Amino acid sequence: MLLSSLLQRMIKQGTLTLVHADGRQESFGDGGEPSATIRLQKKGLERYLAFNPALRVPEAYMDGTVTLEEGSNLRTLLDIIARNWASLESQPFYQWGNRLLRQGRRLKQFNPIGKAQQNVAHHYDLSGVLYDHFLDSDRQYSCAYFTHPDNSLEQAQYDKKQHLAAKLYLTQPGLKTLDIGSGWGGLGLFLANELDCDVTGVTLSVEQHKMSQERAEKQGVQNHCRFKLEDYRNETGPYDRIVSVGMFEHVGKQNYDEFFSKVRDLLADDGVCVLHSIGRMDEPSPINPFIRKYIFPGADVPTLSEAMASIERSGLFTTDVEVLRLHYAETLRHWYERFQETRAQVAELYDERFCRMWEMYLAGCEMGFRHQGLVVFQIQLTKRLETLPLTRDYIFEWERERGRGQAKAAE
C-alpha cells in the first residue's frame, strides 16, 4: 500500500506502529524509542493520507479517523514524525506536491489591509478564556526567553520583555515607542510602567485591542500607553523606538519590502527598532499547510536571507541579530502541558474536534522547533551607524543591572 511504502522509506529513527482498519499491524523504524502506535478507523484511509500527509494526517486526527492507541501520546507521535521529516521531503512525489504549494503561496500571502484583519480575527479573536487556559498571566503569546531551562513560563516571559527592552536601548524616560502587533498589551504596558516609555500599540484583533485598552485604564497609564485598532501601515511617525513581536510572520513574503520601508519611514533618525519573529534556518519554504489552513491563514515564516534582502533595500542598518534556539520549543511545551491540564474546560467552550486541532498545533509546532529548523530571530535596526554603542555589552549590562534591581526589590 502507498502509505506503508511511504512510512517504510520515511521512518528511520524511533518506531511507529500502524494498525489498519482491518486490525493488521505494521511497524516502521529502528525498533527503538521514541515509539508510538496509531490506528486507522476507516478502510481506504491509507491512500488518502499518503497524498499531502502534512495536511491530511492532522485533519484525520481532528476528525477521529486516526487515533492513538493506549500508551501512546501525540507529542511522542509528532516527535517521531518531525525527526524523520527530512526523509519524507526527499521523496519525489512529496517534492512534486511541495512545488504545487510554492506556486500557490503568493496568492495565499496576498495581504491588503482588509484581508490582514480577517486573517488576524481567525485566530486572535477566539474566546479570551481559551488563552487564559495556557498562556502566562501577562498573556505573552510569543517565544519566551529561558535564561535557565528550569525557569517557570512566567519568569521566562518576563525575561523576554527585559531582553527586548535592553536591545531597544532606552536611554531616557518618555521615549516615543511604537509596538507593532501589540497583542493583549503586555509588552507595551511593561515598557510604560517599568521603563517610562510613551507607548502606542497597534493591533488588528478586536478582542486584543479591547483587553489591552482595559488593562491600560485599570493600571492608570492610559495617558502614556494607548492602543489602537489599526493597521501599522496607517500609522504616522516619527517614533524613537519601534518593537514588533510575533507579527512579522503574518506579513507575507511578498510584503517584506513594504513592511521595512514603513518601519524606516516611522523611525526617527536616531531611533532603534527590534523585530522578533519566527524564522527558518534552512531554505525558503511554504508554511506547514495545516497551520496555514486551520491556525494562521495568510502566515509565513521567513529565512534570515529573505528578511535581510528587504532590510538592505529599505535603507535600514542591521545592527544586531540573535538566533534563539529551542526557546520556542520550551515555550510550546509549557503551553501544551497547561492546555492539557484544562482540556475538559476547553472542550466545553468549543468541542472535542477543536481540542484535537489545538493539540496538533501546539505539539506540532514544538517539534518543528526541536527537529525541523525553526528558530526565532531578533533583529535590531537603526537608520544611523552611530546610534548604538560600539559593542553589545550595553545589552548584558542593562539586564544585569535590572536583575540586581529586581533582587533588591524582592528583599
Query: How do strand 198-203 and strand 35-40 relate by DSSP bridges?
Result: unpaired
Q: What is the pLDDT of residue 40?
A: 97
Order of strands across the sheet that contains 25-29? 25-29, 15-19, 35-40, 66-68
Of the two residues 114 and 143, the one the predictor is more confident about is: 143
pLDDT at 408 over 50: no
Which among 271, 241, 280, 259 has a CA at the least distance from the CA of 372?
Answer: 280
Q: Which of 329, 23, 390, 388 lies closest to 170, judged by CA?
A: 388
**Which residue(s) pair with 180 in the sheet?**
202, 244
Question: CA 263 to CA 316: how far, in whole Å?
Answer: 9
Nearest CA to 361 among 174, 123, 102, 196? 123
Where along the chain do its domains lie? 2-90, 113-410
Whole-angstrom Cα distance, residue 235 to residue 378?
A: 23
Q: Are 396 and 323 in contact (CB under 8 A)?
A: no
Catalytic site positions:
365
DSSP state string for 345-378: HHHHHS-HHHHHHHHHHHHHHHHHHHHSSEEEEE
**Mean local confidence (pLDDT), 121-149:** 88
Q: State the Cα–Cα distance between residues 49 and 311, nearest whole angstrom.
A: 40
Phi, then psi, of 243 in degrees rounded to 5: -130, 145
Q: C-alpha grid cell for residue 347?
A: 472542550
Residue 407 has pLDDT above 50, yes or no: no
C-alpha cell, 297: 491563514
pLDDT band, residue 362 (cuts 50/70/90) = very high
Across 137-142, average pLDDT: 96
- pLDDT for 127 beyond 60: yes
Q: What is the mean pLDDT of residues 185-202?
A: 98
113-410 CATH choice from 1.10.3330.10, 3.40.50.150, 3.30.360.10, 3.40.190.10: 3.40.50.150
Q: DSSP letter string over 293-325?
A: III-TT----BHHHHHHHHHHHT-EEEEEEEE-
Average pLDDT score over residue span 142-150: 96
Least confident interval from 90-94, 169-173, 320-324, 361-365: 90-94
- Alpha-helical segments (H) within 66-185: 74-83, 85-89, 92-108, 113-124, 128-132, 153-168
* pLDDT exceeds 50 at position 214: yes
> What tens digit of pLDDT does each residue of 50-72 get?
888 999 999 999 999 999 999 99
Strand-pair partners of 38: 18, 68
Confidence of residue 24 (pLDDT cuts 50, 70, 90): very high
Question: Do 359 and 339 meet the contact criterion of CB atoms below 8 Å apart?
Answer: yes
For 251-310, what is each residue's pLDDT tens digit?
Answer: 999 999 999 999 999 999 999 999 999 999 988 888 899 999 999 988 899 999 999 999
**pLDDT score of 410:** 37
Question: Average pLDDT over the chain, rounded to whole?
Answer: 91
pLDDT digits (tens, 9 = 90+) for 67-119: 999 999 999 999 999 999 988 776 665 555 555 555 555 545 555 555 555 66
